[in-house]
Amino acid sequence: MDKQQQMGGDISTPNRTREIVARYGFSFKKSLGQNFLVDRNILHKIVGAADLGPKDGALEIGPGIGSLTEQLAKQARDVLAIEIDQRLIPILGETLTPYSNVKIVHGDVLKLSLNELLTEYLGDCERISVVANLPYYVTTPIVMKLLEERLPLQNIVVMIQKEVADRMAADPGTKDYGSLSIAVAYYCEPELVTVVPHSVFIPQPNVDSAVIKLKVRDKPPVEVEDEAFFFEVVQAAFAQRRKTIANNLLARFYGKGERARLEKILESAGIDPTRRGETLSIHEYARLSNQIRGSL
């Protein structure tokens, strides 16, 4: 770390952020989810939750003008930041000048091959975590891409809409529990880090925010014979939340005359056919999907 780095930039203060934005004549694009974080305490909470050591790498999605990137650069060995907005690339070139361990890639995270980029830029790091204040219009697709591509990640620490964080971390039997909670539980252990007020952003978003930590599992907590089919069963079970599990599954996988057969399958999986999808645990879904698959 050189002297300039030790002094620590302060991209994240409201004044510095406003100064940078004004100097470059930058106008925020709502369509790209551009709400910049201007609070050091929250930044420290995010970076702290990621538990980065000096040999670790960080992947940031959407660095904006670099306020979180700067804090990551101080903690991690290498930082790779992917930004879609071309107008921010020269700004980042200036704000992150003191940090030689940061690589900025211009592109849409949903379209890039993350595995290749991680190998190329963070290949020498011991462990890799994703740390980001995500653009809210694509939160779920981004998190699902990170999980489904089975990237070699340790933690995913992201600021997202509070409502989505609640759904990701929800337990069975609660109103927030759904297919997203099960997908997240399949790949990781979720933990709500903190709820964040609107006032820490420029401009302020009109939804509440939260920081969530997803500790990526070495292997799923259940054994399913066919992963894609397991997720199909979960989707089908929540197709109409007010319907029973039997009715939702009947509509998706069986003909009308097959109710008795389906009820038998549910019972042999230990599941009362009158229950609703939101009451089933991930273990029950795993058992059920294995049984249904065997029956089709």
Question: What one-character DSSP code corresponds to residue 171?
Answer: P
Whole-number Å distance between alpha carbons of 156 and 212: 8
What residues between 62 and 91 interact with ligand SAM by CB under 6 A? 62-64, 67-68, 82-85, 88
What residues between 184 and 243 interact with ligand SAM by CB under 6 A? none
Q: Three-state DSSP class for 255?
A: coil
Quote the least distance from Cβ 88 to ligand SAM, whole Å: 6
29-37, 113-121, 260-268, 271-279 -> range binding ligand SAM (CB under 6 A): 29-37
Pattern 115-144, binding to ligand SAM, x per CB under 6 A? ------------------x-x--x------
Amino acid at 143: V
Whole-number Å distance between alpha carbons of 73 and 78: 7
Of 147 and 292, which CB lies nearer to ligand SAM in the complex structure?
Answer: 147
Q: Which helix (H) or strand (E) holds 19?
A: helix 14-23
Using rule CB under 6 A, residue 9 touches ligand SAM: no
Take residue 20 and report the two structure tokens written for it. Answer: 């940078």
Quote the least distance from Cβ 3 to ligand SAM, whole Å: 25
57-65, 183-191, 192-200, 245-253 -> range binding ligand SAM (CB under 6 A): 57-65
What burial letters (b/e) apply to 236-249, b meaning 16+ CB within 10 Å?
bbbeeeebbbbbbb
What is each CA distance from 162 to 154, 159, 169, 188, 196, in whole angstroms?
22, 9, 11, 18, 8
96-104, 108-116, 143-151, 236-244 -> range binding ligand SAM (CB under 6 A): 108-116
What residues between 88 and 107 interact with ligand SAM by CB under 6 A? 88
Of 160 and 224, which CB lies nearer to ligand SAM in the complex structure?
Answer: 160
**Which residue from 90, 81, 82 is spatially nearest to 111, judged by alpha carbons?**
82
Using rule CB under 6 A, residue 109 touches ligand SAM: yes
3-state DSSP helix/strand/coil % of the chain, to nearest 5: 45, 20, 35
Quote the least distance from Cβ 69 to ligand SAM, whole Å: 7
Altogether, the residues listed in the chain come to a count of 296
Footprint of ligand SAM (CB under 6 A): 32-37, 61-64, 67-68, 82-85, 88, 108-110, 133, 135, 138
